[in-house]
Chains A and B, each alone.
Chain A
């Protein structure tokens, strides 16, 4: 599996904010760094297909050899994690996980139980997400996304809201779970970028260190 950005340009008012031409292979974490407002999150919005006005985009997004540039968000199979977990408040923990699992998946209950176990949340499927701790919620959000069988993983500063000790733990957990996927991490935190152990680029493709 791989994510290929073919001459991707995102412009605002006729000026290129984002200019990337690269491939992220399965298991690789590409980190995009830069100050706030540089277009990091805009890049992810474009990758999931939710870029709206006033932005313009040219180039192609190719996932596993398939051009997904024109596809709507729900057909792209790009997993996205935000700073906040964005768990659905009206569903239980298991309900949130089930939302991610495609319909007609065999053994739904077993798959959800496995995901709960992987997130060290055994037996907590019926819990209200609002009653979980920040770290538990972050793990549920990650498992929900992985259950939807994404072909790439996009992380929008997903660790920045967590405490320092929890942060390393969730980060390792995330990278371990995502090892088979091409991953794009957007962050302004150098420690997160180093822990990703991949290339570190700016939104215009310059190599940072």
Chain B
């Protein structure tokens, strides 16, 4: 059973992606017998090229995706370079877990509520500074340049990259490298960039690629914050996919393939840029510039985005909560005139129904993924790491339409099992990534000692290793749970409208503009993973409260 686990894990992640891609490529060239496409043709591509918005949509995907990735990476690296080893750094990193468990959609709604013409920022400045006594007719949220979309992505990707960088720091001897650089007279930031960054970047490369692929092809955040006429390519593909006119499925497939090519092209360009920067960087590092006087300005420079992210998320979520219980709330009042639970009461039946489906999907997929990850790690495989990033690098919008077509053909679409299986494709990699470092960091001598005391492999696993890794297991479960709750496209496309979650419901409300309704659903979407995260931190602390030696692992 243990020996089969790595194969099962790899198959569970790679097969749906491969099948989904095949299911996109064939219709993209006109082959889709169920819809009458029995011959190979270039007609879908001609349709795609005939869409007048194509150039703008492609440009938007590239600009917002690359922009969000460059910004997130720059902010992350500056935070670590400017603050590593300080008390502020520990304060920032302790805020990571709740930020990570926050679904993209909830964070995006929070930001939208904050910066919208009738949002808190405008209210706080009106009418005394702006002269507005009614919300201005400005396109701030769905701005045509995609700036709001970039901001929404950066807000969520910085915590993710920061976590990955923290893990990499531990494996790169960063403290001693910094000590050497500092003792040679280097400033903190420049010293870090020249002595630590080259080692760290090698470790966070794949996560950066994942951020780039995700940002270029994200759908839910783009629906909430992104431009609408035209939208990003990914959103347009979804539009075609869900259109009543089934012949548009061919165009959608061509668009999905184009999205994949765009992401691959961007990844290729990124790798070329890496080489260029590395060559220049080596010469720069050998040049000996100390940059001591840069520390203070750079620190100031990076505290602005930290503050913006913190405030954006914090106040944004407070805004969601407030709107969900707001009665009358006139512009430009800072607070509502009255409060009430009417919307909560109206929605309670739906909330319970979809909330339970969401929790079942998340709990089951996280449990299955946890068991599979433990088994795969126990089997000690190195092949896993190569495949684990496949579902994170191939855009969801590129392979999920094909997979849903396959599900339709097999009669599996819209079933709980099918949605659960697709959630697993994304829950598995994040959960395994979260578990693998603590798993490998475990002191193997504990296992050897247990074996010399007569404990067989199963007893070593169940009575020594798993209890010692309890905290890491709980956190990995919470990561998996949060990943599942945050899924939008998989639930939407594979659920075929019959399996709804709080996330599909919340994102579906984006276009409605009903603040109170969105507030209720986005809040629930946010609270579910956060509650599980809080439990995941509290449970091991409770179980091991009388064991000091457990607090370090």
Residues of chain A at the chain B interface (Cβ within 8 Å): 48, 50, 72-80, 82, 84, 86-92, 99-100, 102, 128-131, 144-145, 148, 150
Contact = CB atoms under 8 A, between A and B. Distances in A.
Interface in B450-485: 450-457, 459-460, 463-464, 467-468, 470
Nearest to B545: A128
B446 interface: yes
Given A88-B446, A90-B467, A79 B549 contact: no
Contact of A145 (B452, B459, B463, B544): B452
B547 interface: yes
Contacts of B443: 86
B177 to A, nearest CB: 25
Interface string B210-239: 000000000000000000000000000000
A90 B448 contact: no
Contacts of B550: 89-90
Contact of A100 (B453, B459, B544): B453
B337 interface: no
B280 interface: no
B462 to A, nearest CB: 12
B548 A130 contact: yes
22 contacts: A48-B448, A50-B448, A72-B456, A74-B452, A74-B454, A79-B453, A80-B448, A80-B452, A82-B449, A84-B445, A86-B443, A86-B449, A88-B446, A89-B468, A89-B548, A90-B547, A90-B549, A128-B546, A128-B549, A130-B548, A145-B452, A148-B454
Contacts of B450: 88, 99
A19 to B, nearest CB: 24
B451 A74 contact: yes
Contacts of A99: 450, 453, 455, 463
Contacts of A77: 454
Interface of B: 443, 445-446, 448-457, 459-460, 463-464, 467-468, 470, 544, 546-550, 553
Contacts of A130: 547-549
Nearest to B543: A90
Nearest to A90: B467
The 6 A-B residue pairs with the shortest CB-CB distance in the complex, in nearest-first order:
A89-B549, A130-B548, A73-B451, A130-B549, A90-B467, A148-B453
Contacts of B457: 72, 74
Given A74-B456, A128-B546, A88 B451 contact: no
Contacts of A102: 454
Contacts of B470: 90
Nearest to A50: B448
A76 B452 contact: yes
Contacts of A75: 454
A88 B445 contact: no
Given A128-B546, A130-B548, A74 B446 contact: no
A102 B455 CA distance: 9
Nearest to B451: A73
Given A88-B446, A88-B464, A88-B468, A50 B548 contact: no
Nearest to B470: A90
A131 B548 contact: yes
Contacts of A91: 467
A128 B455 contact: no
A57 B67 CA distance: 57
A86 B446 contact: yes
Given A82-B445, A84-B445, A128-B549, A90 B452 contact: no
A72 B546 CA distance: 34
A52 to B, nearest CB: 10
A203 to B, nearest CB: 20
Contacts of B549: 87, 89-90, 128-130
A39 B310 CA distance: 54
A196 B446 CA distance: 26
A145 B445 contact: no
Nearest to A73: B451
Contacts of B455: 74, 99
Contacts of B467: 88, 90-91
A181 to B, nearest CB: 13
Given A74-B455, A74-B456, A89-B468, A128 B547 contact: yes
A100 B452 CA distance: 9
Contacts of A89: 468, 547-550, 553
A90 B446 CA distance: 11
